[in-house]
Structure 1
Amino acid sequence: MSDALQKRLELLRDRVSVLVEARSAGDPTAGDPLRGLYVSAERVEHLLERRGQIPVQLDDAYGEAEPDDALAETAARFGLTLLDTHILLTALAPDVNRDFEPLYGYLNDDVGRRRASVALALDLAGLAPNDWTARARFHPRAPLLASGLLVLEDAERPLPGRGLRVPERVIAHLLGDEELDGELLGTVELLTAGQPTGPFASRLGALLRARATMIYLRGRAVESGTAVEALGAAGLPVLRYDPAHGDQHLVPVLLREARLRGAGVVVGPLPEKAGALVRALEPGALPPHAEPLVPGAVPVVLFGTEPFDPRWSAGGDVLCLDAPPGSADTGLLWAAELGRDAAEFDLPAAVAPYRLTPEQIRRAARTARTLAVLEGGPLTAAHVQRGARQQSAPALDRHARRVSPAVGWADLVLPAGPREQLEELVVRARQRERVLGQWGLRTGGGRGHGVVALFAGESGTGKTLAAEVVAGELGVDLYVVELSAVVDKYVGETEKNLERIFADADRTDAVLLFDEADAVFGKRSEVKEASDRYANLESAYLLQRLESFNGIAVLTTNLRANIDDAFTRRLDLVVDFPFPDIDQRLALWWQSLAGVPCADGVDPGPCAKDFALAGGSIRGAVVTAAYAAAGRGGRVTTDDLLTGAVREYRKAGRLVVGQDDL
């Protein structure tokens, strides 16, 4: 207990003593040990004769603030009057000092009622229960009750006889305990935001510092850290509340906790029907046009992806803003969390593909350090990327097949031109937030920050493998969209399925792969029958959705001519995968044989020269040869490779001259 609170309790005790002396003077039952358990005739006569023995009036010295005075600070934050502060202290006293219990029992004329009552609190302030201005301090909308600092008990009693109780969290705060309210555990996070890393968050912080208003940010506000950073820029700690993980009855507890701490509140993502939640939060904040300094106001930042419905707000005073993507430089947050531990690798390149909130970055950094300790080595980019992937939303698993990349640039056999384009794709994916967001090169029309590429080439030329290499280089997972789960015979269902995929991809740090994309992104045709019209509607939807896409997507096709020109115009890159020449085929044969036990003198050269196979077919031929060798318990020979090549040729329906039927 602080010295300031102890001093206030001593002053209160003096007032109690004065009132006890006044009450006991002339009371024939003052020394009766059973006083308070029954009412004797003498006691009735004394009560009829007694007038209000009132101690000295409250004065400014009683409410004067002192250093380290939690009660005075709380009174200022909640907008309490001097009388409110006195009532709160009176109700608090028996919870922190048991000496008040018997004294309160005596003054209540009931030894079983050892808490303050409304009448007792007013008597100690020199006020009568028939004073309407005094009774107004116990109205449900008055500061003490509306903010949850005080609870009125005994609802069946008249107001003067009702008991006063201070919630345990308020008592703990006044005693110096800053642990989060137990009711909020598991639902609310206490965050300490660093300095803002973007101008938008700085401007919001200045607004919230001047006026504790309610703001709705539409877009990826929390994902980019904007909502949390704005409150950090205002110099406030942050209470983050997710409505999906808590009941609405916790909102008053949340606002009380924010006021006790002098914190701001971040709430989101808002549910589809958020009216009741917003109206419950509104009493904590101020309308944008209110006076700057109003006690008890809490800055509230809401966020979500849906347009704000004005009917959600009781007063219509919520400030609605579109949160600009890429408004925060998360690289600074990563550097602050990892510090010197990340000196041995290129941290900005390692974390550039990830769009995480500040709290997610902190968790990812802790996970990365734990992984490094587990492996007994220094922190690496791989540890950081694994930690970051654990924080990315796994919602795409419901609609696509996840592939954890296990290949790299060395596994690709491509000419210089396509390889350079793939490297450019990686650069675009890493730097898109800087170029399109911070540098302002994003065009208008609601376009997103996505990167979309088309890989075109014959089957087996390495398109899917290249997508996996790009995902591995970025340190993210590859999600292959299963078209069977997307295309639906019913009108409108295909668009709904695609929207779910795109929406989840926008929230997930991953590479989205549409294999055989011409099945979905095909050319529009002249409307000759009803089915043509609906097919064109699907294409029109996809054209619009690619414009606003914020993720990384790769489309692959064997027939580039089948892709609509309107899609091609919206692509960032078109990479052509040529059929491999002899030298590239030989490199592919050797690469496929890298882990296979081979006989001495094995030579895939004749296969590379005589059989024009793509990389996928070459791998299939090596698999056939490996099974043949494993079946006889030996090693792969040149004849085994030749047999595998012939099989692949015939699978493609091509003629092999001079070979027996296999």
Structure 2
Amino acid sequence: GGPALPRINTTSEGRTLQALAGCHEHLLLELERVAFLVRAQVWRARQVADADHPYRGHFIPEAEVDALLARPDALPEWVRREAPLPPVELRRVLDRIEAIIDARARAALQAGHRPPLLALRNNFALDRFQYDAFLFALAVELDSRFERLYAYLHDDVSRRRPSVDLLLNLGCSSAAERLRRRRDFTPEGVLLRAGLLVWEADPNRAGGSSRLVGSLRVPEAVVDFLTASEPRPSCGELVNTPRPLSAWFGPDDVRARLRAVADELRTPSLEPATSAHQPGATTICLRGSHGCGRRTAAEGIAESLGRPLLVVDLPAERSEEHVTEARRDAGLWGALLLWRWSAETLPPSAVASRGGSGIPRRIEFIAAPVDAPPLPQSRYEHALELSLPPLSTTSRRCVWERALAPLGDTEALDLDTLASRFRFGGDKIAQVAASLAGDDRERAEPLAAPAIYAASRRHSRVAVAGLASHITPRRSWPDLILAADIEEQLRLIERRVRHRTTVLETWGLGARMPEARGTHALFAGPPGTGKTLAA
């Protein structure tokens, strides 16, 4: 015989049966199971290999050619060899190992630890073959001995990562199963489509290689998710604790609609999931103006479903890799995905895909402006459009009051003017409050309007380089020397700006005259007459 099979200690005192103190032990247990499977196949391969030939692996002997021609199916000779244990006994040992791993995984869940490898399998709905294929590829990233074992099974010392052909040989017991399972390693298969594996052509074959010969690699971001103590998504911002829908300061009827959508998403009615190969997806377009709370609404739905939220900018140029990475990260963390749309990014059609992403029951949001074109229904499996009204001044005042309350007494602040002057959304107001909390001001000092205004101006600046420059106003009315009629015009403009909220929102004139929302003034005159000072 060949080398002895690896010893898998199945006693309660064995190393592999220690209680899982964390999440990495589950990964180590699965790695031991993979080692058991690989070594069993290596033992088979050694039964047919001519290990004594000095040029083994560099030429094809006549005997091997005859064996290839006489082979009745696509399986190599070593696959058809008997295992070192009878099939029934081998299956019994594997079942026992898998039962041990499952029991320890359940113990980890009961202890409050969710093994990341278990989360990956469940979130992407991998079946046993797909899961094992992923583990065979992952083993190389965690233990270098697998490189040499795979090179031995390839009969080629330069091929140290598992090929499609090798994974089919390791996981299939018949030629018919090989043909059926080959689709798992195509671009449409869940492993590659979801970004869990990357197919790479054999660099030693100048004329190109078939898909069977190409190798498979686990992306570094996936390895980090499984092994890092504090893994982070490769793109975007992960919100592990989303705000509830009660944090969204909008009309009650719209909030009720958001709650209804969250309730519907708990059922399969809006999520036409079929199988791991044809997963359903729901895309929700949150349409509204800047500051209307699109992100807060997405967080509220995610919180209602008990899921985190991954916030990612739409790509600035077409990039399948960016889209795949974002959806893969959302799948790894079990998160809902929010695509942010801006003038610098591509439209949402850049991420539309009816074919799915490999993630069953995927839920995505798109934060779109009011004037954005509707989503092309034909390019989405299921699309919803939700219009969010702009934040009213009254609601904005409540948001300001809630955000500033932890920093000090807000009784003396003119929150009405603050809400009217800085028309921020909830996220921007939270950023202003956070920057104020980080300022090195004395805590005993009362919360003052100048500090709030200064912080708000810092956060309200937009990119206008080349068109305008920001200044800090240092002059006021006493510095102006103007004719009475000109000064009266300026004071009318000032009063228009000051009371625009009352006229347009409280009195409702803005709804009847949308074109009256802005204030435009032309300051004309020769240099030195005070145009900038007047502004």
Q: Does 1:219 align with 2:288?
A: yes
C-alpha distance in 1 between matches for 2:443 and 2:478: 26
Post-superposition CA distance 1:548-593 (Å, at most 9, x none): 3695648899xxxxxxxxxxxxxxxxxxxxxxxxxxxxxxxxxxxx
Residue 227 of structure 2 corresponds to residue 175 of structure 1: yes
- Amino acid of the structure 2 residue aligned with 1:163: S
Greater mean deviation of Cα atoms: 69-78 or 4-13: 69-78
Change (3 A) 1:358 1:18: farther
**1:173 is paired with a residue of what secondary structure?**
helix
SS in 1 for 2:338: strand
Residues in 1 aligned to 2:361 and 2:193: alpha-carbon distance in whole angstroms? 11
Q: Do structure 1's residue 193 and structure 2's residue 242 form an aligned pair?
A: yes
Letter in structure 1 aligned against 2:155: D
Aligned: 1:142 with 2:189:
yes
8 Å CA contact 1:279, 1:312 repeated in 2: no
Deviation (angstroms), 1:28: 2.8
- Contact 1:255 / 1:298 at 8 angstroms: preserved in 2? no
User: Which of 424, 427, 434 is 1:366 aligned to?
Assistant: 434
Q: Helix, strand or coil: the match of 1:254?
A: helix
**Does the C-alpha gap of structure 1 residues 274 and 40 become closer, same or farther in structure 2, counting only changes over 3 Å?**
same
Relative to 1, partners in 2 of residues 1:355 and 1:244: Cα closer, same or farther, differing over 3 Å?
farther
Within 5 A, what are the aligned runs for 1:209-358? 209-210=265-266, 211=270, 213-220=282-289, 223-235=291-303, 236-243=307-314, 245=316, 247-249=318-320, 250-269=322-341, 274=347, 276-280=349-353, 283-284=356-357, 295=360, 297-309=362-374, 311=376, 313-315=378-380, 317-326=382-391, 329-330=395-396, 334=400, 338-343=404-409, 345-346=412-413, 348-349=415-416, 351-353=418-420, 354-358=422-426
Q: How does 1:477-556 map to 2 (within 5 A)?
A: 547-548=513-514, 553=519
Equivalent AA in structure 2 for residue 361 of structure 1: I
Q: Give the TM-score, by structure 1 length.
A: 0.55
Residue type matched to 1:214 in 2?
Answer: T
Q: What amino acid maps onto 1:547 in structure 2?
A: M
Give distance in 1, aligned partners of 2:36 and 2:381.
49
Which of these residues, 14, 36, 48, is aligned with residue 57 of structure 2?
A: 36
Of structures 1 and 2, the one with the larger relative CO (CA 8 A, separation 6+) is 2
Q: Where in structure 2 are the equivalents of 1:384-463 lying within 5 Å?
A: 384-392=452-460, 394=462, 459-463=485-489
Correspondence for 2:133: 87
Q: Distance in 2 between matches of 1:316 and 1:395?
A: 37
- The CA distance in 2 between the partners of 1:226 and 1:24, in whole Å, is 61
Q: Deviations over 1:462-484 (max 9, x none)?
A: 4524755886x89xxxxxxxxxx
Aligned mates of 1:113, 1:336 — CA distance in 2:
61
Where does residue 275 of structure 2 map in the other structure? none
Contact 1:194 1:232 in 2 (8 A): yes
Name the SS of the counterpart of 2:363 in structure 1.
coil
Structure number with larger C-alpha Rg: 1
Structure 1 Cα separation of the partners of residues 338 and 297 of structure 2: 10
CA distance in 2, matches of 1:404, 1:331: 25
Distance 1:357-1:554 versus aligned 2 partners, 3 A rule: same
Mapped partners of 2:350, 2:220: distance in 1: 25
Aligned CA distance change for structure 1 residues 406 and 26 (closer, same or farther; 3 Å): closer
Amino acid at match of 1:254: A
Query: Which of 96, 111, 118 is equivalent to 1:72?
Result: 118
State the alpha-carbon separation in 1 of the partners of residues 493 and 444 from structure 2.
32
Q: Is the 8 A contact 2:314 2:346 kept in 1?
A: no
Mapped partners of 1:255, 1:340: distance in 2: 37
Specify whether residues 163 and 458 from structure 1 end up closer, same or farther in structure 2 by C-alpha distance, changes over 3 A only: same
Q: Secondary structure at the match of 2:368?
A: strand
Equivalent residues of 1:338, 1:365 under 8 A apart: yes
Q: 1:163 aligns with which of 197, 208, 215?
A: 215
Change (3 A) 1:274 1:226: closer
Partner of 2:81: 53
Residues 361-405 of structure 1, C-alpha deviations (whole Å, 9 max, x = no match): 343233334555499966533222222222225478999998865
Contact 1:54 1:123 in 2 (8 A): no
Alignment match, 1:464: 490
Q: For residues 588-627 of structure 1, what are the structure 2 equivalents within 5 Å? A: none
Which sits farther off after the overlay, 365-374 or 1-10?
Answer: 365-374
For the structure 1 residues 553 and 245, does the alpha-carbon distance in structure 2 shift closer, same or farther, using more than 3 Å as the test? same
Report the aligned-residue RMSD.
4.5
What is the distance in 1 between the residues matched to 2:444 and 2:461?
Answer: 28
Count of residues in Structure 1 that have an aligned counterpart in Structure 2: 435
Identity of aligned residues (%): 25
Specify the alignment match of 1:447 in structure 2.
Answer: none
Does the CA contact (< 8 Å) of 1:372 and 1:379 recur in 2?
no
Alignment match of 1:10 (pick from 5, 25, 32)? 32
Deviations 1:496-531 (A, max 9, x none): xxxxxxxxx9xxx9x99xxxxxxxxxxxxxxxxxxx
Q: Distance in 2 between matches of 1:153 and 1:396?
A: 44
Distance change >3 Å, CA 240–CA 115, structure 1 → 2: same
SS at match of 1:14: helix
Distance 1:116 1:403, change over 3 A: closer
For 1:79-158, list aligned pairs within 5 A: 79-128=125-174, 130-131=176-177, 132-154=179-201, 156-158=208-210
